[in-house]
A and B are shown apart, each in its own frame.
Chain A
């Protein structure tokens, strides 16, 4: 293999644009996934059986379906629904929105498990103290328990974020030009350097994820 680096420099704007798409999906999914995941975790600890049951069913369903299938569901079968729900102008790229929604809903199931473990690790006395101070149960959770659970679980939440970043490569099935698809299927294919671009993508992902996980470890050790 003698790789011509000009392929990469010539296509740099496209590559950067695609990296932006990968990051866009990752960041929206992390933010909405954690928020929705935390709500689900609280629902699972609710005293109302129906609420617990709904949250449990949601988490278990999403955890038993492959991400590839979830993405296809959201791309081929629910775009119209999404358009109406979010009242999107028709000019929005439905693939990007589909991917963001699918990832947020999917990852929420995983985040909720992390948050549930975090909440359960907080001693009961904390909540009792909050109640004794005159807070409602909801206030106790929101102001006392969840912030602590969040701190304890921060490394895990971040690690899950790195996994999520890697998972965004699966938008391959939507023909959405994320970093991997753009580098390999479009640039690699058009310039006859397919295999070289696969390795290039592998190196880039490795560098980003390795740096990110080292950072998480550093933070974890500082906190501990």
Chain B
């Protein structure tokens, strides 16, 4: 994959060289002449492809008009605006590509899309393959269970069915703990959060392990949302970042600056309140999810540290 990417960069470098000579003749702006990586690709193609999720409520998902909306999507929109400004292309075409937990990394690497702001955890293993922007959200992985089930923590799940979305860090973590503690948990791994919640709702699983904010999002569209509760001490804390192609310093700087700007100016907090403290599509339910102290600390001092 790495080679593939370099090849694709080389190709773009060659095109860039052409562009440079053209620009040289026109003696255009200096900033545009220094474009590399993703920014150069976007400029050359005249289109930016934004990866998004289909059911990561309330981060990145479809509303009733099938527009992509959510807390992370707000960041994605800011980043697109910043790119337009940087490249001086106010009419830059924006395309959206739905990705899943399982295909988001290969599709980013092979250039099918340019960046993704969804619910992707920044961790050491993934940093070998992709880069992450500054953190946009911090979650703890916990369990969503039925109110009446009496399940309080992972030890109550011995020998039971637990559902977790395929290709997530939680899937790996649950499998590891299950092996370590010999809990005999039977694990179901559907392809997306929506499928996972349906598995829980239908009774096929006793608990749904996932990032707490996502669990709150899934609960918000349940038929009877008050019969579901989030329980357990977090198995891990995770930092979400926007995902970028590796070694693309120029694009990362632009993305990071945009995020820092949003988080320190109060725009990110407004967005948080919009998605976590007010009624949201598709069902118009309010998640009533309070901002954690970790999130407050993050907004005070933006950074791109992984938490594992």
A91 pairs with B47, CB closer than 8 A: yes
The answer to whether A189 and B106 touch across the interface, beta carbons within 8 angstroms, is no
CB within 8 Å of B: which A77-117 residues: 77, 79-80, 89-91, 93-95
A219 to chain B, nearest CB (A): 39
Complex-state Cα separation, A77 to B4, whole angstroms: 10
- Min Cβ gap A178→B in Å is 13
Distance in angstroms from A74 CB to nearest chain B CB is 12
Docked pose: A91 CA to B95 CA in angstroms: 7
Q: With an 8 A cutoff between CB atoms, is B198 at the interface?
A: yes
Give 5 nearest A-B pairs by CB, closest first: A90-B45, A189-B194, A175-B98, A91-B47, A90-B47
Q: Is the CB of A79 within 8 A of B62?
A: no
Q: Is A9 an interface residue (CB 8 A)?
A: no
The complex places the Cα of A138 from the Cα of B99 at a distance, in Å, of 48
- B49 contact set on A, CB distance < 8 A: 90
Knowing A90-B45, A175-B99, A191-B282 touch, does A76 contact B106 (C-beta < 8 A)?
A: yes
Which of B107-115, B117-125, B164-172 is the contact stretch? Answer: B107-115
The chain A residue sitting closest to B113, CB to CB, is A94
* A90 and B221 within 8 A (CB): no
A192 within 8 A of B: yes
The prevalent SS among residues of A at the interface is helix
A80-B5 Cα distance, complex, nearest whole Å? 10
- Chain A residues with CB under 8 A of B64: 190
A94 contacts which chain B residues (CB < 8 A)?
A: 112
Instruction: List residues 71-121 of chain B with CB under 8 A from any CB of chain A.
Output: 93, 95, 97-100, 103, 106-107, 110-112
Q: Is the CB of B66 within 8 A of A80?
A: no
Tell which of B47, B62, B97, B99 touches A190, judged by Cβ atoms closer than 8 Å: B62
Pairwise interchain contact A80-B100, C-beta atoms closer than 8 A: no
Q: Kindly report which residue of chain A lies nearest to residue B107, judged by CB atoms.
A: A76
B62, B111, B112: the one within 8 Å of A186 (CB): B62
- B282: A residues at CB distance < 8 A: 190-191
A62 contacts the other chain (Cβ, under 8 Å)?
Answer: no
Known interface pairs A186-B66, A190-B64, A190-B282; A175-B100 also in contact (CB < 8 Å): yes
Query: In the complex the two chains form, what is the Cα distance from A186 to B106 in whole Å?
Result: 23
- A79 B110 Cβ-Cβ under 8 A: yes
CA gap between A189 and B196 in the complex, in Å = 11
The answer to whether B54 touches A185 (Cβ under 8 A) is: yes
CA distance A76 to B111 in the complex (A): 10
B interface residue count range (under 10 / 10 to 19 / 20 to 34 / 35 or more): 20 to 34
A91's contact among B8, B93, B111, by CB below 8 Å, is which? B93
A: which residues have CB within 8 A of B? 14, 75-77, 79-80, 89-91, 93-95, 175, 185-186, 189-192, 194
A55 to B155, CA, bound (A): 59
Q: How near does chain B come to A185, taking the closest CB pair, in angstroms?
A: 7
Interfacial chain B residues near A91, Cβ < 8 Å: 45-47, 93, 95
Say yes or no: A79-B112 contact (C-beta < 8 A), given A91-B47, A186-B54, A189-B194. yes
Q: Give 18 CB contacts A-B under 8 Å.
A: A77-B110, A79-B112, A80-B4, A89-B45, A90-B45, A90-B46, A90-B49, A91-B47, A93-B95, A175-B54, A175-B100, A185-B54, A186-B54, A189-B194, A189-B195, A189-B198, A191-B282, A194-B198
Q: Is B135 an interface residue (CB 8 A)?
A: no
B66, A192: Cβ atoms closer than 8 Å: no
Cβ of B2 under 8 Å from chain A: no
Output the least CB separation between B64 and chain A (Å).
7
Query: Separation in Å of the A192 CB from the closest CB of chain B?
Result: 6
CB atoms of A80 and B98 under 8 A apart? no
Q: Scoring B residues 263 to 279 as 1 if CB is less than 8 Å from chain A, else 0, what string do you get? A: 00000000000000000
Complex-state Cα separation, A77 to B93, whole angstroms: 25
Q: Which of B46, B93, B103 has the most CB of A within 10 A?
A: B103
Nearest CB of chain A from residue B153's CB, rounded to whole Å: 29
Q: What's the Cα separation between A191 and B221 when bound, in Å?
A: 8
Q: Does B223 contact A (CB under 8 A)?
A: yes
Instruction: Please name all residues of chain B whose beta carbon is closer than 8 Å to the beta carbon of A191 when the two chains form the complex.
Output: 282
Q: Given contact pairs A76-B103, A90-B46, A194-B198, enumerate 11 new A-B contacts (beta carbons under 8 Å).
A: A75-B103, A89-B47, A91-B47, A94-B112, A95-B97, A175-B100, A186-B62, A189-B194, A191-B282, A192-B221, A192-B222
Question: For B206, what are the chain A residues with a Cβ–Cβ distance below 8 Å?
Answer: none
Alpha-carbon distance between A76 and B99 when the two chains are bound, in angstroms: 12
Chain A residues whose C-beta falls within 8 Å of the C-beta of B221 in the assembled complex: 190, 192
Check if B258 is an interface residue, CB within 8 A of chain A.
Answer: no
Bound together, the chains give a CA A191 to CA B283 distance in angstroms of 8
